[in-house]
Amino acid sequence: MAERSSFVVVANRLPVDEVIVDGERQWRPSPGGLVTALHPVLAEQRGTWIGWAGGAGEAPEPFELEGIRIHPVPLSAEELERYYEGQSNATIWPLYHDAVETPVYKRRWREAYRIVNQRFAQAAADVAAEGATVWVQDYQLQLVPAMLREMRPDLRIGFFLHIPFPPIELFMQMPFRAEILRGLLGADLVGFQQRLAAQNFVRLARHLLGLRYEGQSIQVDGRKVKAGAFPISIDTADMERMAADPGVQARAKQIRAELGDPETVILGVDRLDYTKGIELRLKAFRELLADGKLAVPEAVMVQVATPSRERVEHYQTLRVKVEREVGRINGEFGRVGMPAVHYLHQSYSRTELAALYLAADVMMVTPLRDGMNLVAKEYVACRASGGGALVLSEFAGAATELKQAFLCNPHDPDGVKDALLRAVGAEPSELKRRMRVMQRHLRTHDVAEWARTFLNELGVTEREPAPEA
């Protein structure tokens, strides 16, 4: 039997990508919000990460990569459709994001969600050492804490929700709502991005299950379950280092040159997701061009829209709408060799993203709802030279911390236009002042601090020795 770990992360995705080198399968660490967040903690503790390796069918054998034990969990093609695309991304994702798209409820999706959550819980029960700490991540695995506690009451279980937790009225739509809530209550500590989300959760426990709570602590079957806010962040120092790299800086200059050296480069970087407000941002840009407040080629927009969840209908519809809007803007305001919007439906390396951030005068982050939004934080961390403006939706978790951004209500098109214009027209000294305050915040509130705070609250002492190899 494989050695057991005293620190285990359970997440839907593994922090690795499959690459084929000389016809042979190899694994590389993959970039991304959640991965970036947990990698330092795991590497430090030589823990195990349990997750899905992507693709359908048999899972690869467990292996080790950069000091982390990787334990893949299989998903069949049907589970992929029902648990991942269905229950996780067509039911829970839209419901938890203020139902900005209508959640779809299907019994067979729920059943697959239970089965897959049980599989993840079993894998954690198998690899966790006696008294180990298990940290379960995100909305795809909300049943895991209770399932795991049932099998392994000796474990210390944490759960962190990366996306918003909805108010009671919305949560109550969910057909198996009590089961989800009980699933989460299997943890000792349930973490959220925002204080309000933690409050929604404790109130819901009373409303739905009649549980008593004091402050943020809920009484469940003679146990205490703590809820709290732990806003996630980025590896700030790493981002700053990348932005200071001469190669990245040269690439940023090159990008601006390739765009025709415009006065103002406006940038958006998001997964192609309907929560991100990509359409409304494009519309704001179009209206400002139509009003004559902005003009091509002095101002151009670059929108990176990373392919995401492409088989889910909501995402297919969004892609059509976004691409239609891009076509419309370029048709009306572009010139030969000079599009108004450069639309990139592609993934990029982290250095290329850093170069894009450096090249952008204005970063537009306008989600209708977002748990945190790491892109906003990455942009700020990249702007050590002090320039650049962040236009940020009030409905992104990041807005609670990045108060010096040009905040806007994404539901109000005039408000978005106004914030964008203010950002474009702001004095360099004002932009520098705003950036400096936000950068200071991110230097002390980085991802390592996030993980440390959560784990301390969970009762894992800061200087606990690394688990035995």
119 binds ligand G6P (CB under 6 A): no
- Fill in the per-residue mask, 283 to 312: x = in contact with ligand G6P (CB under 6 A), - = not in contact: -------------------------xx---
Q: Which is nearer to ligand ADP, 265 or 375 (CB)?
A: 375
Q: Say which entry of ligand ADP, ligand G6P, none residue 31 contacts (CB below 5 to 8 A, set by partner kind).
A: ligand ADP
Per-residue mark of binding to ligand ADP, 25-54 (x: CB under 6 A): ------xxx--x------------------
* Residue 201 to residue 194: CA distance in whole angstroms: 11
Cα–Cα distance measured from residue 44 to residue 455, given in angstroms and rounded to the nearest whole number:
13
Q: Residues in contact with ligand ADP, total (CB under 6 A)?
A: 16
Compute the C-alpha angle 85/90/93, nearest 5°.
Answer: 105
Query: Among ligand ADP, ligand G6P, none, what does residue 355 contact (CB within 5–8 Å per kind)?
Result: none
Is residue 411 annotated as a catalytic residue, yes or no?
A: no
Among 80, 353, 356, 381, binds ligand ADP (CB under 6 A): 353
Among 36, 33, 28, 21, smallest CA distance to 54 is for 28
322 binds ligand G6P (CB under 6 A): no
442 binds ligand ADP, rule: CB under 6 A = no
Query: Is residue 369 near ligand G6P by the rule CB under 6 A?
Result: no
Residue of 39, 71, 97, 162 marked catalytic: 162
Q: Is 162 a catalytic residue?
A: yes
Please report, as residue ranges, which positions from 233 to 292 form the binding site for ligand ADP (by CB under 6 A). 269, 271
Q: Which of 162, 319, 417, 441 binds ligand G6P (CB under 6 A)?
A: 162
Least Å distance between CB 221 and ligand ADP?
Answer: 34
Q: Interface with ligand ADP includes 400 (CB under 6 A)?
A: no
Contact call for residue 79 and ligand G6P (CB under 6 A): no
Residue 375 contacts ligand ADP per CB under 6 A: yes
| Residue 363 in the binding site for ligand G6P (CB under 6 A) | no
> Which of residues 268 and 388 has its CB atom nearest to ligand G6P in the complex?
268
Binding residues (CB under 6 A) for ligand ADP: these are: 31-33, 36, 269, 271, 304, 306, 347-348, 353, 372-375, 378
Q: Which residues are catalytic?
A: 162, 370
Binding residues (CB under 6 A) for ligand G6P: these are: 12-13, 33-34, 138, 162-163, 308-309
